[in-house]
């Protein structure tokens, strides 16, 4: 039975054949992925919360908020540049959209580099997955797992931004694809809003 037959039959019986919630399939798939990924991050963060709550000598190794504040600012700004890129794509400004997507990817790279710099600083101070000089060894495992998972998402996002941006410029993708990619990038930003208070700010050395 063809799509046209299904549609005809749908009209005659009062049923309609079309994407669920009138949302295009690619966008719906991205939303379902985001919901699934929310569970992954929620599981990690809740497990981290229980560990932190149940461990008396939980380390508080962060002396400064400068780096994490800068990382937050950069990631939030990259969400704005992504939105501007989408607006340009919707307006048919291909060069502008490509430029803003590449700016977003660059901000993502800066975020990742700051993240790696922070990791290296902590490793220099003696922190590994299983031990650290400040308290329970569980801290290193949970810190590297959560921030590593987030950094992996950022890295995948950067690769996707470059790939989709180049294909959009080449005419193989359209503004809808930019919107779907934007959903992913904003999600990465959204997760960071929970990682920062739980993993960094609650562990500031006072």
Rounded Cα gap, residues 170 and 164, in angstroms: 10
Rounded Cα gap, residues 204 and 62, in angstroms: 5
Under 8 Å CB-to-CB from 114, ≥6 apart: which residues?
67, 70, 71, 74
Name the segment binding another protein (CB under 8 A); options: 33-41, 92-100, 122-130, 152-160: 33-41
Considering only residues 135 to 194 of the shown chain, the ones binding another protein according to CB under 8 A are 176, 179, 182-183, 186-187, 189-190, 193-194
Under 8 Å CB-to-CB from 174, ≥6 apart: which residues?
89, 168
What tokens does 172 get? Answer: 């193989």
Name the segment binding another protein (CB under 8 A); options: 15-23, 94-102, 127-135, 163-171: 15-23
3-state SS of 74-124 is: HHHHHHHHHHHHHHHHHCCCHHHHHHHHHHHHHHHHHHHHHHHHHHHHHHH
Least distance between another protein and beta carbon 41 (Å): 10
Least distance between another protein and beta carbon 39 (Å): 6
Under rule CB under 8 A, residue 109 binds another protein: no
Q: Which of 6, 7, 33, 90 binds another protein (CB under 8 A)?
A: 90
Residues at the interface with another protein (CB under 8 A): 21-24, 27, 31, 35, 38-39, 42-43, 46-47, 49-51, 53-55, 65, 69, 72-73, 76-77, 79-80, 83-84, 87, 90, 176, 179, 182-183, 186-187, 189-190, 193-194, 196-198, 201-202, 204
């Amino acid at each position: 039975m063809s799509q046209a037959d299904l549609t005809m039959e749908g009209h005659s019986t009062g049923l309609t054949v079309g994407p669920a919630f009138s949302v295009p399939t690619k966008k719906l798939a991205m939303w379902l992925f985001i919901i699934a990924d929310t569970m992954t991050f929620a599981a990690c963060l809740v497990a981290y919360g229980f560990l932190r709550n149940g461990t008396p000598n939980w380390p508080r190794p962060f002396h400064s908020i400068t780096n994490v504040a800068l990382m937050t600012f950069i990631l939030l700004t990259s969400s704005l540049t992504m939105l501007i890129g989408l607006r340009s794509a919707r307006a048919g400004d291909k060069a502008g959209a490509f430029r803003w997507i590449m700016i977003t990817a660059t901000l993502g790279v800066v975020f990742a580099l700051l993240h790696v710099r922070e990791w290296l600083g902590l490793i220099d101070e003696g922190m590994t997955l299983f031990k650290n000089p400040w308290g329970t060894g569980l801290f290193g495992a949970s810190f590297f797992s959560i921030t590593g998972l987030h950094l992996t998402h950022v890295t995948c996002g950067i690769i996707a931004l470059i790939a989709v941006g180049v294909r959009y410029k080449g005419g193989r993708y359209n503004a809808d694809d930019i919107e779907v990619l934007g959903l992913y990038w904003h999600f990465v930003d959204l997760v960071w809003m929970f990682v920062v208070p739980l993993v960094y700010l609650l562990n500031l050395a006072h």
